[in-house]
Amino acid sequence: MKKITILGATGTIGINTLDVIKLYKNNFEVTALTANKNIDRLEKLCLEWLPKYAVMADADAAEQLEQRLKNYPIIVLSGTEGLSKVASLEEVNMVMAGIVGGAGLIPTLAAAQAGKRVLLANKEALVMSGQLFMDAIYQNNAELLPIDSEHNAIFQCLPGSEQAGIQKNGVSKILLTASGGPFRTFSIEQLQNVTPEQACNHPNWNMGQKISVDSATMMNKGLEVIEACWLFNSQPQDIEVVLHPQSIIHSLVEYVDGSLLAQLGNPDMRTPIAYALGWPDRIKSGVKRLNLIEIARLDFEVMDFKRFPCLQLAYDAMQIGGTSTVILNAANEIAVQAFLQKKLKFTEIAKVIETTLSHLTSKNADSLDIILEEDAKARDFSSNFILEIG
C-alpha cells in the first residue's frame, strides 16, 4: 500500500490524481489532502477519502474546516508549516506537488528533503530554486517525476540518467510542444483588448485561471523551458519550442543520429499522473484512447516571439541565471493576478515582467532565504509598477 500526500487537492491536478487513485484503491492510501481557501471542496474530499491529515494554507479556513470535521478522526493543520509537515511525514511514500505558484515551493522542497517520491506539478519549485531543489533531490535520495505533460513526455523519451546531461545520452535537442493557447492566431493589435474570460478559455486543456493565462501569454511554456533545463541537466539553447495546435504530441527528443522520439496521447492530465504514480510500471489512467484516424493530421508552426514576448523573457532569465528566474516568476504572478482583476491589459503583463527584471539585480540563488527575499522584492516592485501604469 503506497501512502500519498496531495498538495493542492482541490485543483485540477489534485482532482485528476484522486480520479486515477479511485481505479486502484487497494494500492494507494490518501494520507493527507491540502487546499488554500476552498473549505467546501476540501471538506467534501475529506468525507470521501478520510485522510489522516487535512491542511488549509489559510489559518481562518483551517479553523472553519476543523469545526466541520470535528466528528471525524482527521487532524486539521494550517499554513506553510502544516503543508511542510504533511509533505514530509515518515509514513508517506509519495507527494503530489500540485500547489500553483510560488506558494508551493517550501512544502515541495520539504518533500524532497524528506526523500519522498516527488510528483512535480508545481513548476515554480524549479523555476525559483532550481539548483537548491535538485541538490535536495540527489542528496536525500528522493525521486523526482515530472507531471507537466511536456516534461513527462520527455522523461518517457529519454534513455537514461538525467543527471548525466542530455549530450551523454546521445540527445541533440529537446522539443517542447505548445498548443498556442486561445490567441495562437491573434495579431499584436488584437491582443491589446483580450479579456480574462477569453484568456482562460483554453482550446485543449481544462486548467485553473492562473495557468490558463500563462498558457495564453506563453509564459507557461517559458517556465517549462526553465524547468526542463533543471530536470534534464540542459541549457536553454538545447530546448526548442514548437507550436502544435492539436496538443497530441506532448513533446519530443531529438537524437544525434537524426531520430525523433515523441510521446502522443489525448490532452488529459491523468496520463502523466498515472505514469508517475505507477512508475516504473504502467497503470491504467481512465483516459480515452487516442484514435489517430479521428485526429487525421498533426500541424506544427514556428513560435512568434514578438507576439508572445513572455517566452523570450523566460529564456533570457534562465540564461542570466541566479535569482532572475525568481524575479520573473514573482512579477508574472503579480501581473497575471492584476490582469484577472481587470487592472492590467493582457499585453502589459510582459511589460511588467520586463521592467521588474531590468530594475532588480540578479543574485546567487544559493539559499532559501535569498530566494524568498528576492521573491518578495519582485512582488513589491511589480505591484507598485502596476499602480503607476494603471
The model carries a pTM of: 0.92
Q: What is the predicted pLDDT for the residue at 159? A: 82
Q: What is the predicted pLDDT for the residue at 165? A: 63
User: How does pLDDT run across 268-308, given as a tens digit for each residue?
Assistant: 999 999 999 999 999 999 999 999 999 999 999 999 999 99
Q: Please calculate the CA angle 251-273-141 and round it to the nearest 5 degrees.
A: 95
Domain 2-146 superfamily per CATH: NAD(P)-binding Rossmann-like Domain (3.40.50.720)
Q: Which parts of the chain have pLDDT scores under 50?
A: none
Q: What is the predicted pLDDT for the residue at 154? A: 96
Q: Which of 288, 230, 239, 251 is nearest to 148 (CA)?
A: 251
* Contact criterion met (CB below 8 Å) for 352 and 335: yes
Q: What is the predicted pLDDT for the residue at 207? A: 74
Give Cα separations from 81 to 57, 59, 93, 102, 288 (angstroms).
Answer: 9, 11, 19, 15, 39
Q: Which of 55, 62, 40, 61 is nearest to 89 (CA)?
A: 55
Q: What is the predicted pLDDT for the residue at 167? A: 66
The domain ranges of the chain are 2-146, 162-264+304-389
- Report how far residue 158's alpha carbon sits from residue 161's, in angstroms, rounded to the nearest whole number: 8
Q: What is the predicted pLDDT for the residue at 103? A: 87
User: How does pLDDT run across 204-223, given as a tens digit for each residue?
Assistant: 776 789 989 999 999 999 99
Q: What is the predicted pLDDT for the residue at 162? A: 57
User: How does pLDDT run across 98-115, given as a tens digit for each residue?
Assistant: 998 888 999 999 999 999
Equal fold, 2-146 vs 162-264+304-389: no
Q: What is the CATH number of domain 162-264+304-389?
A: 1.10.1740.10
What nine digits make up the cell of 52?
A: 489522516
